Structures are given as structure tokens and as C-alpha cells.
Amino acid sequence: MASADEIVCNGHVITLPTLEVVKAVPIMAAGTNIDWLLHLYYARRDFIRCRLIIERELHRSLNPEYMYFVKGLIDREEGNNIEALRNLQKALDLNSKNIETYKEIGKTLFIMGRFNQALDIFREAEELAPRQDHEICHFIGELLHRSAAAANQLTIARQEEAEAKMYFEKAVQAGKKLESFQRLAEILRKEKDYARAIEVLENCLLLSPENIEVLTEIGVLYLKINDSQKAFARLSEVIALDRKCPKGLLAYGAILQSRNDVDGALEKYQEIALTEPDIPELWNNIGLCFFKKKQQKVIAAISSLRKSIWLSPLNYNALYNLSLVYITAQQYASAFHTLAAAINLRKDSAECYMLLGICLRKLEDTENAFKAFQRSSEIQQQQSADAGRNPLVHLNFALFCYETGRIALATEQFTRFVSSSQDLLLPTEYKFQATKLKSLLKIPTSNILTSTPTGAASDAIDATDSQHIGTGNNSSGGDGMSNNSVDDIYGIYGVKRQAAGNKQELRNTKARALATAALAAAPTTSSAEMPLEVNAVVNA
Amino acid sequence: MSVNAKWLQVIVDEDEPRPRLNTVTSCMTLCDIKCDNYVRLIAADIALEDEPTATLKIFRGTTLHTELKLNGIPAAVQSFYSDESEPKTPIIAVAIAESVLFFRNLKPYFKYTVPGLGAEELERDLWLKLPTVRVEQQPALVESLRSIERPKMSRKSQKLIQLSQEEQNEFILKYADATVMRHPNIVALGCLERISSDVNPPSHLVIATDNGDILVLEPQSFGLIYQAKTCDYETVPSMIAVHGTYETDFRIVIATRYGGVYLLRKSVKEGQEIFKISHPFTGLMLLPVDQTITVCAMDCRLVCYSKKGKQLYVNKLPALPMCMIPITLPHLGLTLCCVALEGGLVQLYLQRYLVNEFHMVSTIGAMCFGRTGHEDYVLNMVSVEGEIFVKILKRTAAFDPSELLALKGNVESKAMVETILEKSKKSSIFVEQAAREKQNAKTTYGAFQAELWRLRYVAARATVDAINSSESTISGDITHAPVKLSAEVCGIGPEFRLYLTIQNMSSYKMASNLTVLLHADRRHYTLNKSMAKLPSILPGVPLKIDFEIVAVLDPNLKLPPHTLTIENSQIRVMLLKARQTKPLIAAVIAMPQSEANV
């Protein structure tokens, strides 16, 4: 304060203002400040104007952070990822704390397939984020999930998978975004925690009701836990919302089909066939519908199943079903080829080998038939621990053994059949054949089959015995089928479901588990219940 | 069409010069600026062609009435009444950078500047030091400024960092005394009525700045009566929607550039996040009736959320939305949501139902609805190219969702008529074959099995033959290095040149003592040299040798002898190893037909 004069006034020292004019303090002009307009044009995808603004303003703007940001995004939209990264990096240099820029860099790296780098970027962003950001959590989860799938070591993969799950849970809490819910449900589904997966999706539904994808998914999950009533309710909602949702319609049709409402199911399938005719599972189901009709339409069934196989030649379910229909139609040579194809696809199916055995028996190739039956019995025994039991395999083998004079083996197989059919509700068809065989083999009465009138059976043995061998090919499988009342089908329902569950497991390993699940749920259900008819055929 | 009978198109004289206007929805407003009961359209025209400049344009009908030059690009324009004194004079507020310009009777009368924000400690210290230190030390200090995030710096620091070192000193001296302060830029404006009274109630101005502050300004004393933050950290708003009255209660919904939507109430000073989407917004609305928030974004969806963030419904838009405005029809008690889409389609939604749509000749980029001229319900639209369109809603128009639905439903049900499942056709051959198979299943199967065995047998024999005769291009003898032979015939005849490439396929063994022997029918081909001893061949270094082959032609007819057929026009090549009777490779080269000698 050298220039100012100081005087004493009223006992205080005060400075007198100088005569010099107060120096005007220059104010920095704001510049054009056009970021908001840039944002608006970007949101409208008016990239030409965006570029125009950026080009002109980039070098004179006081804070070009957002311009670099938008430039990067536009570059990315136009497919120039490298340039996008460069521009986003420039934006980041100007403001190293903007998590949005981090996110966009991460997303760009994600698009480019540089997943490890993307993960690092998202992790950095997570540390910087002032609060839990759902998008960051979602992407970290996604990336971990991906790297878990690619990891070589099981422990690392497990660890990453668990972490991915944790991040998805965080994302769900932070952002309530649909995608995160769906991914979380997907992981839970893979872990077979269906109840929680449903819970997650139901929560998701609270946020965005009437979402067809989510509804369908819930429906399919309910099917998995055998709650077909709830599944049915959900899927009806889907269909009410969108009459043309093929996935929903297909699952809905499958439920109807499993409830023996063949015409209702066919009606639904018709609608799908109108919009999307090239779904192999659809034709598989249609084929089974025809097969199941009161007046069996074998030819229609065959042509539908063949269409399904034509659409997807490696579809195991369709091949299995087609061979079954062929056997019913007594086209054993064709059935043999279809079965051979099916077995080439999956070598671990006891039912498939059993059918092959039946088929070869009919073709009078006893040697190979025996081998096939033996294999089916072996597989059945190996799997019986974890998978569903199918006593039919043993029953058929026992019948064949008896026929070819291998009495000892027949007795052994029969006891296996008895032990494996314990605590299962068997259809009368099974019981009938079993009782007949038992009396032929002269096995003392066991407590399992007490429900059948054993006394009457022992009288009828000889009569039925001659019929059993004599009638040969004439009594058609169709007869046996029409005899099956609704009760019978529900009777072995438990068995069917177990088998279906097992098949589902294998399917889950597929990458597109999500898409196929709805479709797959249907064919497996229907295919698994087919051995019922087989029994009729083999005993005919 | 009955649907479009709701709107009257205002026809403009083609000969008249049509004013052009480049604007956005936030920069359009309607105002009875002259207090003559004639409402005029006011819009900021943003020229981007050369130097970005803006003018405030006042229209009378569709003709340009007045122009005011602005010293910056306005982010928003609003018109409102500040007091109840008669005659009520509307005020126009134009937000440019950090200040709001107030116009009354088309004359600027006040400039309000948003309060500056304190700068970071580090930055303030630096500016105290900068003018005092020596010039050589300045760059180091300037460099240390870079550690501060750019948006949190004062403008002069931002500028200083961009300057070259030579200019820095001068700049520092010039701006040394200027206060170190951040000036937030205004990004959006809104109007908040003070009380809900009759028409044209006095209002407050809501200001959103780019650091996330939401301010309510009292336009008479120009004091801030409400201050809040969008959320607990700094984020940039892009759009705001206001509902309620200041005296009782109000709500402000803020959409940010990065996809978040926040809700502010009168009682709170910090917004709460309602939802977040991953796409930037192009329109935001707060519906007055049920207080739902409708947004349209870059992902071509019109989504409605409740205030708790629950997604109520989603409408898929047929094209990219450009802008969205609410259309309030008090006589019907409705608020419609009007969305302009890319390509010129304009759609009106009543909640989730599409109630009306019409096509314009070009994409609409900005809209404004309200009393214009002497008409009550007028939709003013400006296309992206700059043309102005005006449509008037008929007083009799009613919006019934069933109307358009029925129209669309008809089309749909037509598609659903009588569908019979397309089954694949069964030909008689198919049925016959099925029947035949049924009868002769065993023979069919037997024939197949026999054929299968035959095929296997043939295949096995062919394999054995090939191994025995060494007739392949790769030597099969595993005791020596595997050798590959390839051949190429050049020329059109009668002179040919045969190039042989011999390659050692082993990775470490040497192939030595090899000889190539050519054999041909001497009636057909003449070979000058039919044998060549080969040097040792190293792995990975192919050896190429060539032989001359002359096709024998009848001297008179200039044709090859009649004994030469396509089957026997061939040359055998044998690769021999010394002291071994069996050739390593015996290949046959098919020769092309020879041309006559010219």
C-alpha cells in the first residue's frame, strides 16, 4: 500500500482512495459454450452438425472435454474404435475424474474385444465413482462372467463367476436395470438356483411390468421347477401382451401339449408357423402333437419331424422322436437309420439304445439287438445314481432275453426292473407286461406289483403268452397308445420330469442356453414320455 | 383420413419469402410481447454455418417481425410474467453462458449472472504466486495446474493452460488481479408459477447450470429463493421439467447428459436419482395429472416412469425421436405427449396409446405448442432444414385411443385370418415307399447292411492298393524322410515343359540319394531326358527341376496319332531312392491336348 495515502481519522488509520482510476479487471469471456447443443445434436444422431461444431470449437474452447467425449462416441458409432479411444483418452486427460469417460472407454474396449483392458478400466472407474454405479457394476460382472467362461483353471473360473455374481447383485441394487436382472437370473439359472432366479426376475418385473422377455423367462423357469400352473399363468400373460411372441407361444403350446390338449397346442403352433416357420423345435412339437392325436396321424407326424430334422440335422430330440414314430409306423429300416444318427450325436442315452434294440429285434438281427439292449442296460445302471431311472429299459431287455431263451439274464433284468420301479407309479401297461413276464419266468410274487390282480394274471398267463408271441406285428402300436388313459400319463409324470431335468443339464452348457431353453423344455418333456408307446410296440 | 381431420394446416403464400430458422425446442417460446393479445412466436436462431452466432427472432404468424442480435449462443429462451401489475407485460429470459438476459418490450433491461463458485485452494494459491515469481518458474507452476480437473478450473486457468509458453507471461500479468472464480454455464431454463391463479400467473425462473445446480430466481428483485443440487456429485443436466407452484409445492425433474434422471422437491436441497438409462435423452416430460415422467431417448423408445422409478410402459417408436413436448388441452382435461421423429412423422400419445399421427415433409427439429396469434391450440414446428410449419388443432378435436387402435387392429386381424398349418405335402411315392418298407423291412435292412459291408470292403481295398503302388503325391515310406511331389505342365504344345517340385516334409531328416524317372509312351511323347539325379533335399527348401516333353504329331496331318486318347495321354513320374526297388512316389501326370506346331 505504498501508493495510498494514509490519514488518521477519528482515531483510526484509513487509506484514502487514490485518484488513479480503478483498474478495470478484465473478465474472461465464456467462449461459445455450446456443449449443450452438441449434446442435443448427438442425441438426435445429427453427426454432421456435431462434427461441424467440434471442428470449429475444439481448439478455442476453454474446456473441450465434452467435445472430445462426443467426438469419441461418434467415432465409435461409425465403427472407428481406435480413433474413438484416442478421443476419449483426450477427454480423460482433461478430466481424470469423470467416470462417464471411463465407462465409454471401457465400452469401446468391450466392443473391440479387448476384455482384459476393459475390465481394468471399469475397475478404475469403480474406485473413482462417488457412489455405486450400476453400469460399471454391470460391465464388471459381464466381463468377469466372460473371463470365467474362458478361464482354463477351474478354481479361477469359479472365483470369477462368484465375483461376477456379486457385481451383478450390486448392479441390481444400484441401478435397477433390466439387463442386470436378466444376467443375474441367467447366472442363477446356471447354478440351478431356479427359485432365486425366479425371485430376481419377479423383482425385475416390478420395475418393468409387461416385459415379454422377462415374463417368458419366468414361465420357462417355472417349467423347470415343475410348477406348470404358474408357468402357464405367466405364459398366458405373454401371449395376451404379444400375440406373436414365438418363444412364449411355443412354451405355452408345450404346456398345453403336456396336458394332452393337443388341439390347443397345435393352434398355438400354427400361429408361430405363420410368422416364423423355420424353428426346428416347433416342427418337432407339431410332429409329436400329430402323433399324440386321438386319431393318430403318423404320416403327418413323420413329415413334421422330418422337417424339423431338415432344419436342424443335429437335433437329437427330433431324431429320437422320429425314430420312435417310425417304430410305431413299423418302418423299422428307417427307424434304424434315424436311431443310428441319434446315437452318433449322444452315446449316453439308454432309451436310444433300447429303441435300437427293439428295432433290430424287429429286423431279426438278434445278435446286434442283444448288444444294443446290453449297452442300454449298462448305461442305465451307470446313470441310475444321478439321472432318472427308467425301468422300461430293464423290462424290455428282460422281455427280449426271455424271447431269445436267455432265461437267467431275463430274470436278472426283471429283478432290476422291479427294484428300479420301486416307489414309482407305473402305468398299467407296464404292470401288465411285467406280471405276464413274471409268471412266465416263474418268479415268486413281489410286493411291488401287488396292485395288479396277481391271481387273475396267473390264470391268464398261458392265454396271453400265446398271444404275446403269436400276434407278432399285427397288433399295432396305435392300439396300445389309445389305451393309455390320461391317468397313465400323469402316472409316470415324475419319471418323465426327472429325465427332462437331466437333459436340461446338458443343454445348459450350450452358449445359447437362454434362447433354446424355452424351446427345449417342450421337446424333452414330450420325448421322455414316449417310451410308454414303445412298450406297447415291443410287446405287440 | 379421419384421423388427420383434427389438424388444420396453415397455408403460407408460396411467393412470400419464407423465413428460415435453425433452433431447438428449448429456444422457442410463445409470448404476447406487445400486450396486444396477439401471441407471437419467439425463437433464437442459431447460425452454425460460419461463426456460431445467434439472433432472437420474433415472428408474427409465420413472417419475421423483429430481430435482436445476441452476443452468444442461448441455451434456453423462456417467456413469463413477473408480476400482477396491469397491464401484464411478459418478460423474455434468454440464457447465455453464465447469465440470463431479461427483455421487456423487446428491450434488454437486466442481466443476471449466476453466482460464481469458489475455486480450488491449489488454484487460488497458484494465482497468488504466478505474478510474483520469475518468468522461468511460471511454466512449472502452470504445469501443476493440470492436476486439477478441467471443468473445476476457473476460466482464466483453462485459458492459461492452452496458451503457449511465450504468451503465458503476458496473460498472467493481464489477468493477475481478476478473481479466481468458476462460472457455471446455464444449460436449461424453466418456469415455475408462484401461485396457481387464473391465466398468466406471475412466475419464477428455474435455472439449471452445468455443474448441476438448480436455482430459482425471483424476477422482480433478482434474488435467489431456492438453491439445490441435482445430486450429491457434479453432473451436467441437459433438460428440466417443472411442475407445481412455488408457494405450495413443486417438483423439478432433471435429466442429465449421461442418462440419469433426478427428482427435486421443494423441501429437499439435493435431488434423488429416479432411474438411469444408457442412452442420451432427446425429450423429457413431467405429466401433470398422474405425475409420471416420460422420456424419449436415442434408443427409439418412449418410456414412462413413475416418480419412484418404476417403468410403467414402453412404446417403441418407429424412428429416432428428435424432440418431445407436452400438449396440454385444458378443455379436454388432457395432456398429450407429442414426439417428432426422424423422417417427418409426428406422433401424439395419450399415455400409452397412440392417438394421432401425421407426416410432415421433412424432419421436425423443434416444436412449441400453445396460443399463437388469436388461436388457442397451435403447434409451431421448425424442421431441421429451417422451415417453419404451423398446424392448428380444431376445437372439436377429441382424442380417443380406441380410434387409432381400431384402425390398426383391423389391419392386424386381417393378417390373422384363417391360417391352416402348412404341412409338407405327402406324395404318393412317399406313401408307397412307406408301405413297401413296412412289408419288406428286413430285406431293406439286409440290403443296406450288405451294401455297407461292400462299401467298406471297396474302400479298404482301394486304400491297400494306393499304399502298395505308392500312387500318391507324398511318400508313404516311414523309414525315410517324407517327400512331397507336385507337378506343373506349361505350354500349349507340341512342346511342353514339366516342372516338378520336390519338397522334404520332414522337420529334421535329410532326403538324399533321390532320382526322378519319367516314363511315357514313346509313340506319343518324346523325352529328351527321362532321368535326373537329385541333390540332397533339406527340410523346408523345395527343389524345382524341369523336363522338356515333346508331343509326337503326325507330320502331314499335324495331329497326334490316333492311338492317343484322353485316358492314355499321361506321363508317369517316379521318385526313386538308391538301393531300393520300390519307388517312393509314383505319380501320374495327365497331359493336356497338344496344339499343332506353328
Which residues of chain B does A46 touch, with a Cβ-Cβ cutoff of 8 Å? 384
CB contact under 8 A, A25 and B179: yes
Q: How far apart are CA A527 and CA A369, in angstroms?
A: 22
pLDDT at position A447 is 39
Alpha carbons A192 and B496: distance in angstroms, whole number? 72
Which pLDDT does position B440 carry in this prediction? 83
How confident is the prediction for chain B on average, in pLDDT? 82
Residue range B74-79: mean pLDDT, rounded: 88
Q: Which of A132, A128, A153, A130 is nearest to A141 (CA)?
A: A132
A176 touches chain B (CB under 8 A): yes
pLDDT band, very low/low/confident/very high, at B172 (cuts 50, 70, 90)? confident
Determine the residue of chain A that is closest to B324 in CA distance: A44
For range B182-203, the mean pLDDT:
81
B319 vs A: CB within 8 A:
no
Query: Which fold, A35-175?
Result: 1.25.40
SS3 readout for B491-535: CCCCEEEEEEEEEECCCCCCECCEEEEEECCCCCEEECCCEEEEC
- For residue A479, the model assigns a pLDDT of 28
Q: What is the DSSP letter of B255?
A: E
CB contact under 8 A, B298 and A43: yes
C-alpha pair distances (Å), A447 with each of A414, A422, A452: 14, 10, 10
Secondary structure, 3-state, A256-287: HHHCCCHHHHHHHHHHHHHHCCCCHHHHHHHH
Residue type present at position B413: S
Residues 6+ positions from A535 with CB-CB distance below 8 Å = A392, A395, A396, A429, A430, A433, A480
Interchain contact, B422 vs A277, CB within 8 Å: yes
Chain B neighbors of A32, CB-CB under 8 A: 52, 72-73
Q: Which residue type is seen at B338?
A: C
Per CATH, which fold does B3-116+183-322+335-407 belong to? Methylamine Dehydrogenase; Chain H (2.130.10)
Tens digit of each residue's pLDDT (9 = 90 or more) over A63-94: 788 888 888 888 888 888 888 888 888 888 88
Residue B291 DSSP class: -
Chain B partners within 8 Å of A31 (Cβ): 97, 155
Residues of chain A in contact with residue B52, where contact means CB-CB under 8 angstroms, are 32, 34, 53, 56-57
The more confident residue out of A9 and B307 is B307
Mutation target to probe the B interface, by most B beta carbons within 10 A, among A20, A22, A28 is A28
Nine-digit cell at A394? 430293464
In terms of average pLDDT, the best of A233-237, A357-361, B403-407 is: A357-361
| ipTM (interface pTM) | 0.70
Least-confidence region, from A116-130, A468-482, B6-20, B431-445: A468-482
Q: Say if the Cβ atoms of B175 and A26 lie within 8 Å.
A: yes
Whether the pLDDT of residue A477 is over 50: the answer is: no
Nearest chain A residue to B306 by CA distance is A207
Taking the Cβ of residue A120 and every Cβ of chain B, the question of whether any pair is shorter than 8 Å is answered with: no
Do residues A534 and A358 touch, judged by C-beta distance below 8 A?
yes
Q: Is B433 on the interface with A (CB under 8 A)?
A: no
| Average of per-residue pLDDT across A215-223 | 79
Per-residue pLDDT, A241: 73
Residue with the bigger pLDDT between B174 and A454: it is B174
3-state SS class at B230: coil
Q: Is the pLDDT of residue A131 over 50?
A: yes
Q: Which of B115-119, B151-155, B468-472 has the lowest mean pLDDT?
A: B468-472
- Joined together, the cell numbers standing for residue B360 give 410432415
pLDDT confidence band for A473 (50 / 70 / 90): very low
- Has residue A411 got a pLDDT over 80? yes
Q: Which chain B positions have a beta carbon within 8 Å of A62's beta carbon?
A: 155, 158-159, 162
pLDDT at B37: 80
- B378-to-A259, B282, B390 alpha-carbon distances in Å: 59, 22, 7
- Cα–Cα distance, B96 to B108 (Å, whole number): 13
3-state secondary structure of A412: helix
B123 touches chain A (CB under 8 A): no
B159 CB near a chain A CB, below 8 Å?
A: yes
- Nearest CA distance, B295 vs chain A (angstrom): 13
pLDDT at B500: 92
pLDDT of res. B441: 82
Contact B280 A286 (CB under 8 A): no
Chain A to chain B Cβ contacts (< 8 Å)? 172
Burial call A114-126: b when 16+ CB within 10 Å, e when fewer: bbebbbebbebbb
CA distance B84 to B194: 11
Highest mean pLDDT among A23-37, A225-239, B331-345: B331-345
Every domain of chain B and the residues it spans:
3-116+183-322+335-407, 118-182, 443-468, 483-590
CATH superfamily membership of A176-277 = Tetratricopeptide repeat domain (1.25.40.10)
pLDDT of residue B516: 92
Q: A26 and B174: CB-CB below 8 Å?
A: yes
**What is the distance between the terminal CA atoms of chain A, rounded to a whole angstrom?**
120
| Residue A45 in contact with partner chain B when CB distance is under 8 A | yes
Is the model more confident about B260 or about B17?
Answer: B260
pLDDT at A467 over 60: no
| CB neighbour burial string for B389-400, b if at least 16 within 10 angstroms, e if fewer | bbbbbeeeeebe
- d(Cα B334, Cα B348) in Å, to the nearest integer? 12
pLDDT of res. A352: 87
Summarised one tens digit per residue, pLDDT across range A256-269 is 777 777 777 787 78
The three cell numbers of residue B303 are: 418410456
Which residues of B are less than 8 Å from A208 in CB distance? 310-311, 314
Q: Is the pLDDT of residue A1 over 50?
A: no
d(CA B77, nearest CA chain A) in Å = 14
Cell triple for B338: 407429442
What's the average model confidence in pLDDT over B165-193? 81
Which residues in chain A are closer than 8 Å to B312, comparing Cβ atoms? 209
CB-based contact B276 A269, cutoff 8 Å? no
Query: What rounded mean pLDDT belongs to chain A?
Result: 71
Model confidence at B404, pLDDT cuts 50, 70, 90, reads low
Asked if residue B420 has pLDDT above 60, the reply is no
Report the C-alpha gap between A24 and B191 in whole angstroms.
36
pLDDT at A333: 86
Window 491-520 of B: residues touching A by CB (8 A cutoff) are none
Over residues B268-278, the pLDDT tens digits come to 888 888 888 87
Q: Does B408 touch chain A (CB under 8 A)?
A: no
**Mean pLDDT value of segment A221-231:** 75
Q: Tell me if B423 and A56 make a contact (CB, 8 A cut-off).
A: no
Burial of B265 per CB tally in 10 Å (0-12, 13-18, 19+): middle
pLDDT of residue A3: 45
Q: How confident is the model at residue A483 (pLDDT cuts 50, 70, 90)?
A: very low
- Nearest Cβ partner for B424 among A274, A303, A331: A303
CA–CA separation, B451 and A25 (whole Å): 104
Nearest CB neighbour to B97, from listed A30, A57, A306: A30
Confidence grade of residue B198 (pLDDT, cut at 50, 70, 90):
low
Is pLDDT larger for residue B84 or for residue A409?
A: A409
pLDDT digits (tens, 9 = 90+) for A343-388: 888 888 888 888 889 888 888 888 888 888 888 888 888 876 555 6
Judged on CB neighbours under 10 Å (0-12, 13-18, 19+), B88 is: middle
Return the percentage of chain B with pLDDT > 90, whole number. Answer: 5
Each residue's pLDDT tens digit, B552-594: 888 777 777 878 887 788 888 888 888 887 788 888 888 888 8
Model confidence at A107, pLDDT cuts 50, 70, 90, reads confident
pLDDT at B416 over 70: no
Which of B177, B188, B280 shows the shortest C-beta gap to A43? B280
Chain A residues within 8 A of B424 when measuring between CB atoms: 303-304, 306-307
CB atoms within 10 A of CB B427: 9
Give contacts of A 289-348 with B, CB under 8 A: 299-300, 302-304, 306-307, 329-334, 336
Nearest to B238 among A36, A95, A333 (CB): A36
- CATH for B483-590 is 2.60.40.10
Q: Where are the beta strands (DSSP E) in A368-485?
A: none
**Degrees to nearest 5, angle at CA B44 with B78 and A49:** 125
Is the per-residue pLDDT at A276 higher than 90? Answer: no
Spell out which residues of chain A touch residue B48, defining contact as CB-CB under 8 Å: 49, 52-53
Determine the pLDDT at residue A451: 33
Best mean pLDDT range from A10-14, A499-503, B107-111: B107-111
Residue pLDDT, tens place only, B116-143: 887 778 888 888 777 787 777 777 877 7
